[in-house]
């Protein structure tokens, strides 16, 4: 179903500011058709009843040539009430637009700042990367964001970081020898995610750790570690997300380090 609700512009600055983000969420609630009629509904789980406009057909306007000088059609719509969820129907599309706009503006901003040489470009991309990482850390700590809201925002920033890392790596001709692991991609995410969450690895966040692992590590059968590993690292940073089967298998493998 096509939903006609207007998705507002969302920026990293809005995500980092509690008041601005509150206004963004409030905008969603104000789209409820009951609010527009002056009612004060109770919102459950941030869901609204939205009066959706749906195109049905069109029909020629009689005497339109005589009236307007050109043939014209009258468009026919119908309205129906649909239940919309904040995260799925409002936040997620807004984050998708944010990501596309931000990535699209990277080169526009570079040209505006007159960064043309190889060194200028690399320096510029590194600067933008640092800005994104600062936003990542700020949003990760934001208490006004719900857990799912925070995760969706973080994943959007990680996609931006992927683009920036790709641009930076395009200027590097150095090929690093990689360390081959016999662990699967999931097993590597569990091990390194747990080391990160327990302070054995410090000074890195999941995107930075995944970037280094993609550069220097291989998983089972010399398979390349992709930056998407960061999502698994985020997931397995919480021990309750690791299946008992994975725990048992890894326990057996790592016990061998100290018993053989």
- Spatial distance between the Cα atoms of 183 and 185, rounded to a whole number of angstroms: 7
**What pLDDT score does 38 carry?**
87
Domain end, chosen from 53, 84, 115, is at 84
Residue 7 lies in a domain: no
CA nearest neighbour of 135 among 161, 112, 115: 161
pLDDT score at 173? 59
243: left (phi over 0), alpha (psi -120 to 50) or beta: beta
Domain with 104 in it? 89-169
Asked whether residue 183 falls in the same domain as residue 254, the answer is yes
- pLDDT for the residue numbered 68: 66
Taking Cα atoms as reference points, which of 218, 205, 116 lies closest to residue 161?
A: 205
Query: pLDDT confidence of 76, banded at 50, 70, 90?
Result: low
Distance from first CA to last CA of the chain, Å, rounded?
60
In a 13 Å sphere around the CA of 210, the CA atoms on its Cβ side amount to 24
Q: What is the pTM of this model?
A: 0.69
Task: Specify whether 184 is located in the same domain as 254.
Answer: yes
CB 204 within 8 A of CB 196: yes
Residues 35 and 78 in one domain: yes
Does the pLDDT at position 185 exceed 80?
A: yes
What are the tens digits of pLDDT across the range 129-170? 999 999 999 998 999 999 899 989 988 888 888 888 888 878
pLDDT of residue 238 exceeding 80, the answer is no
Number of domains in the chain: 3
Query: Which domain-ending residue is among 84, 115, 140?
Result: 84
pLDDT in tens, 111-128: 999 988 888 998 999 999
Does 6 fall in a domain? no
């Amino acid at each position: 179903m096509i939903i006609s609700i207007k998705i507002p512009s969302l920026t990293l600055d809005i995500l980092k500011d509690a008041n601005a983000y509150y206004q963004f969420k409030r905008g969603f609630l104000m789209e409820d058709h009951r609010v527009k009629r002056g009612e004060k509904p109770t919102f459950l789980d941030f869901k609204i009843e939205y009066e959706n406009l749906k195109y049905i057909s069109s029909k020629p306007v009689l005497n339109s040539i005589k009236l307007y000088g050109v043939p014209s059609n009258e468009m026919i719509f119908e309205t129906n009430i649909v239940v919309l969820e904040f995260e799925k129907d409002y936040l997620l599309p807004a984050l998708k637009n944010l990501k596309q706009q931000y990535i699209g503006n990277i080169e526009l901003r570079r040209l505006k700042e007159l960064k043309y040489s190889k060194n200028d470009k690399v320096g510029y991309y590194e600067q933008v990367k640092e800005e994104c990482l600062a936003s990542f850390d700020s949003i990760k700590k934001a208490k006004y964001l719900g857990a799912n809201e925070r995760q969706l925002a973080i994943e959007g920033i990680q996609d931006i970081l992927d683009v920036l890392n790709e641009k930076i790596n395009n200027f590097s001709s150095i090929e690093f020898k990689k360390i081959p692991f016999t662990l699967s991609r999931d097993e590597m995410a569990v091990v390194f995610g747990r080391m990160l969450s327990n302070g054995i690895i410090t000074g890195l966040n999941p995107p930075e750790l995944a970037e280094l692992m993609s550069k220097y590590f291989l998983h089972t059968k010399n398979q390349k570690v992709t930056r998407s590993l960061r999502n698994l690292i985020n997931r397995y940073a919480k021990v309750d997300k690791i299946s008992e089967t994975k725990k048992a298998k890894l326990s057996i493998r790592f016990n061998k380090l100290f018993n053989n």
